[in-house]
Chains A and B, each alone.
Chain A
Amino acid sequence: MTFLASHKKMKELMTNYYFEAKTTQEKPIAWVTSGAPVEFLYAMDVLPIYPENYAAMCAAGHQSLELLEAAEAAGFSQDLCAYARTDFGVDITQGGPASGLPPPHFLLCSTNICKTVIKWYEVVARKYDVPLFIVDTPFLHDGLSKELKDYTISQFKDLERFLSEFLNRPFDHKRFVDVLALSREASVYWRQILYLCRTIPAPINSLDSFIHLGPIVTLRGTRECVDYYRSLYEEVAERARQKIGSIPEENYRVLWDNLPVWFKMSRLGTFFEEKKCTLVVTTYANSWGGLSDFQEDQTGDIYQAIAASYLNVYINLGFEERIQYLARLVDDFSLTGFIMHSNRSCKPYSIGMYRLQEEVSKLTGKPGVVIEADQNDPRAYSDAQVETRLEAFIESMAPV
């Protein structure tokens, strides 16, 4: 991992966030999915808690295995998403770095990242006997349409009504507009940071971006989030200006598709550094940068833009769009190849990947490799198998 002074700030930010989550007496707690329109919650002083983020922290801290086993002992199949299983384990043992999550008052779930989250949150809703609000964002087989946006907007309006009734006060539209502006500002900074990696050598790598995306996921819509990413941007921009690379020598520049393997971050970091290969860009971290892509229309209708942003998430896109996007990243970031993580825990990200790899390679002329792994379950990972495949892949690339 690249040494960044901002890392300390991020740790403070995340610690404060979890401290507030664990101690607040005033704010209602909502458990939310990573692709949910959290701006509606911040506008109403609801504290959003991200079980996905917590599960990732557990795995990054090498604590996921015991949590997975606790969930499985309670009957949850190993076939299920390891984030969900990790959090079910957290619920049973109160484990992980924050000793469990505060219980939710309600749940907000958006299907733009998968349909699995519906099932996951149904389990939680039943366990805690709390309301579950779902924002259904259908898969974009053929791109965005007015009907899809209208469908999503109707649900946003209903979400406002739900929040107003649940919290027994009117929805704060003025605050919502402010929160939205902060959310967008943070997303813009985040994207700019990630796009600084077009510089050769890349000033940070994707393992850094996986770590530093914590605030954009959890605190999107707050002033602290904007301040943090402004400061990170300045630090990374300075590295880019001075041509300081994230690794000492950069011969290869590759894309990482899908979630990281959280429990192998350090080992993979060392592996890629030794191979003089930088993970330059990732579709996963980019997703939160894309949340500012759509601006309000000429009528000033902000809902159109929010709907477009939350529908147009990478894994909610049809394969033609995914292929074109991946090919653009290969060009924009001067990549020498790409790695696709076939992630046992994330079917919407992974199913079809073999075909995508073939097509992107054909389109860009760059080699790609698919590795079989899992974001959170160490039992579904083999160092030898993954590293052998990666070594062969790196050997197949022409250097920058």
Chain B
Amino acid sequence: MFEPFHEIINNVSATILKHEKELGRPVIGVMPAYFPLELIYAAGGYPVQLWGNNLPLEKSDAYLQSYCCSVARSVLELELSGIAKMVKAYAFTSLCDTLINLREIYRRLFTKPTVALSIPITQTQAARQAYLKTVLKSVTGGLEAVTGRQITPASLAEAATLCGTTRSMQRKLYRIRRHKPGLIKNHDFYSVVKAGFFLPAGVYNRMLETLLHELDTLSQPQGRRPQVFILGMVFDPLESYKIFDELKIDIVDDDLANGWRTVSKETLRVENLVEGITQYLFNPAPCCCIYNPDSDRHPYLLKKVTQSGADGILFWYIKFCEPDAFDRPQLMDHFKEAGIPAAVIDMELSMSNFEAIKTRINAFCEILES
């Protein structure tokens, strides 16, 4: 059932090259996070999401310090090592200081075009709308220059439906996981989500549809195992989920930038693109990287964790991610006050030895079980 998804993530380059050829669309590398893929599809591009990888960091060290997060370092490694040669352009957002400067590094090192969606975080509504309008003009113009195709209302509507369908089906996958813990192995679950980073949405949607049909017919396994909620920016390294499977722990939900925070986004409203993108960026799940005082993460997360039925929370921390790290102490206190156990697992994407992580997860589970 999950094998086709594993196939994809075990053969990322071949997958992208195959679909690039079939689609005849330029591949656009999408940096973390929240760049609306709809804009790329509408412009006739093929978006591929780059959330980091476990390549040994050999070349990127010449450009990025060791105190940069391994997401940025490993993504740069892709381009420097030639693995990302099929990528024709890059799409950035202004998510954090590292990514803002990373775009500048790309502009100095490579000739591939880059577009940047600068996310306005002011609470001055009129200013935000006016500025976003100019940002979108630059982004869509940049994408059109790469693809050689115009974004039209029809292409936007089609792309919105395509990507909206993906997220809607992913939400169903999340619901199944919540309602039938243990039915989907943790490693399988995130493999399914990850495969979507590299596949064209149409292809991915068909695979998801088949999977969801099959899952619908299956019942929840007997017995209750420890259930946890994971919270952080990215769910990688994928290998780590085998530990949860091995220890018989069920992840029942998450709040990850490349997990639920993206999956939860409704279909992009394209009739008023500025308003639609604003809604897309700021809703529904608050993110540590996007200032939004109208949506407080503390009550939001407490409610979400409670609803998930999780016994405890693991902060899934990729080293050197400041936005994530700043929120953590107060959030941990908040959960503690609510009587929910929490622990931190910190890691780098490039790590190959997971023994220390396994020990920590195991110890946390023993606390939960006691």
Q: Which residues of A come within 8 Å of B, CB atoms?
A: 74-77, 79-81, 84, 111, 114-116, 118-120, 122-123, 126-127, 132, 134-136, 138-139, 141, 145, 147-148, 150-151, 154-155, 157-158, 318-319, 342, 344, 347-348, 350-355, 359, 372
Task: State how many angstroms separate the Cβ of B141 from the closest Cβ of chain A.
Answer: 13
Q: Contacts A141-B116, A151-B131, A355-B105 known; A134 to B62 CB distance under 8 Å? A: no
Does the CB pair A79–B322 fall under 8 Å? yes
Task: State how many angstroms separate the Cβ of A301 from the closest Cβ of chain B.
Answer: 17
Does the CB pair B94–A154 fall under 8 Å? no
Within 8 A of A (CB), among B239-260: none
Does the CB pair B102–A116 fall under 8 Å? no
Closest 5 CB pairs of A and B: A154-B127, A75-B329, A119-B326, A151-B131, A351-B101
* Residue with the highest number of chain B CB atoms closer than 10 Å, among A77, A132, A353: A77
| Cβ 8 A contact of B330, one of A126, A158, A355 | A126
Does the CB pair A79–B104 fall under 8 Å? no
Q: What are 7 A-B residue pairs whose CB atoms fall within 8 Å in the complex?
A: A84-B326, A116-B97, A123-B327, A126-B298, A139-B94, A150-B131, A359-B108
Kindly report which residue of chain B lies nearest to residue A84, judged by CB atoms: B326
Q: Contacts A123-B326, A141-B103 known; A347 to B97 CB distance under 8 Å? A: yes
Kindly report which residue of chain B lies nearest to residue A152, judged by CB atoms: B127
Kindly report which residue of chain A lies nearest to residue B319, judged by CB atoms: A79
The interface residues of chain B lying within 8 Å CB-to-CB of A119 are: 288, 322-323, 326-327
Contact of B109 with A by CB under 8 A: yes
Kindly report which residue of chain A lies nearest to residue B62, judged by CB atoms: A354
The interface residues of chain B lying within 8 Å CB-to-CB of A155 are: 122, 124, 127
Could you tell me the distance between the alpha carbons of A74 and B333 in the complex, rounded to whole angstroms?
10
Does the CB pair B121–A351 fall under 8 Å? no
Within 8 A of A (CB), among B152-182: none
Kindly report which residue of chain B lies nearest to residue A370, judged by CB atoms: B65
Does the CB pair A352–B105 fall under 8 Å? yes
Does the CB pair B100–A348 fall under 8 Å? yes
Does the CB pair B124–A158 fall under 8 Å? yes
Q: Contacts A75-B329, A79-B320, A347-B98 known; A354 to B122 CB distance under 8 Å? A: no
Task: State how many angstroms separate the Cβ of A13 from the closest Cβ of chain B.
Answer: 32
Does the CB pair A351–B320 fall under 8 Å? no
Bitwise interface map of B from 121 to 140 toward A, beta carbon under 8 Å scored 1, else 0: 11110110011001000000
Does the CB pair A134–B98 fall under 8 Å? no
The interface residues of chain B lying within 8 Å CB-to-CB of A123 are: 326-327, 329-330
The interface residues of chain A lying within 8 Å CB-to-CB of B126 are: 154
Could you tell me the distance between the alpha carbons of A123 and B332 in the complex, rounded to whole angstroms?
13
Does the CB pair B124–A154 fall under 8 Å? yes
The interface residues of chain A lying within 8 Å CB-to-CB of B6 are: none
Does the CB pair A154–B130 fall under 8 Å? yes
The interface residues of chain B lying within 8 Å CB-to-CB of A158 are: 122-124, 127
The interface residues of chain A lying within 8 Å CB-to-CB of B123 are: 134, 158
The interface residues of chain B lying within 8 Å CB-to-CB of A350 are: 65
Could you tell me the distance between the alpha carbons of A132 and B154 in the complex, rounded to whole angstroms?
41
Task: State how many angstroms separate the Cβ of A34 from the closest Cβ of chain B.
Answer: 15
Does the CB pair B329–A342 fall under 8 Å? no
Could you tell me the distance between the alpha carbons of A79 and B346 in the complex, rounded to whole angstroms?
11
The interface residues of chain B lying within 8 Å CB-to-CB of A134 are: 121-123, 291
Contact of B107 with A by CB under 8 A: yes
Does the CB pair A347–B101 fall under 8 Å? yes
Could you tell me the distance between the alpha carbons of A187 and B23 in the complex, rounded to whole angstroms?
57
Does the CB pair B329–A319 fall under 8 Å? no
The interface residues of chain A lying within 8 Å CB-to-CB of B65 are: 342, 344, 350-351, 353-354, 372
Contact of B78 with A by CB under 8 A: no
Contact of B68 with A by CB under 8 A: yes
Contact of B32 with A by CB under 8 A: no
Q: Identify 5 new A-B residue pairs, CB closer than 8 A, beyond the known A127-B330, A136-B120.
A: A79-B320, A111-B121, A119-B288, A141-B103, A147-B134
Could you tell me the distance between the alpha carbons of A150 and B319 in the complex, rounded to whole angstroms?
37
Contact of B264 with A by CB under 8 A: no
Q: Contacts A134-B291, A150-B130, A352-B104 known; A115 to B97 CB distance under 8 Å? A: yes
